[in-house]
A = this chain, B = another copy of it.
Amino acid sequence: MSERPDFMKIALDLARKAGEAGEVPVAALLVHDGEIIASAPNRMRELNDPTAHAEMLALREALGKRSGARLDDCDLYVTLEPCTMCAGAIAHARVRRLYYAARDPKAGAVESGVRFFDQPTCHHRPEVISGIREDEAAEMLRRFFAEKR
C-alpha cells in the first residue's frame, strides 16, 4: 500500500534548514501526480534578492522543466501564507491547488491583506487549503525571529 507523502512535513524540514542558514525559514514544493517536481527554501539572503521567496523559486524551477507555461495540474505546498508578490505569481502560473501552513497577517495576501484570489484583477484562482501543520510552522518562525532580536 503506498501512502501519500506528507508534503508539508517535507517543506517544513526544508524551511528549518534554511532557517539554520540564516534565511527566514519558509519553503515551497510543487507536486505533480504525487511527485515533487520542484522545491525551494527562501534564498533572499543568499542571493541578495528580496524577491527570492521560496514560492517564486519553486515556480520558476517547475516551469523550467515543462513545455507549457502553466502549472494547472500542479499543487503548491508552502509553509507560510504567500505574500502579495507570490500570490500574483501563483495566479500567473495557474497553480491548481495551494496548501499552506501558517497564516501571515502582516504580509500575507490570501486570507490576509489584499486577499488577491478574491479580487477581479486576479485571473486564476487556485483551490486553497490552509492550516496544515500550522502550529509547527508558526512556532518555527516565532523562534527564528525571537533569536534574531
Contacts and interface: CB of A to CB of B under 8 A. Distances in A.
Interface of A: 44-45, 48-51, 56, 59-60, 63-64, 66-70, 83-89, 91-94, 106-109, 112-114, 116, 119-123
A128 to B, nearest CB: 16
Contacts of A50: 63, 69-70, 92-94
A87 B87 CA distance: 11
B89 A107 contact: no
Contact of A122 (B84, B86, B94, B119): B84
Contacts of A60: 49, 51
A41 B64 CA distance: 19
A91 B49 CA distance: 12
Given A51-B93, A60-B51, A114 B116 contact: yes
Number of copies: 2
A16 B91 CA distance: 26
23 contacts: A44-B69, A45-B69, A48-B66, A48-B69, A50-B63, A50-B69, A50-B94, A51-B56, A51-B59, A51-B92, A83-B121, A84-B85, A84-B91, A84-B114, A85-B88, A85-B89, A86-B88, A87-B88, A106-B121, A108-B121, A109-B121, A113-B120, A114-B121
Given A112-B121, A113-B120, A119-B114, A69 B49 contact: yes
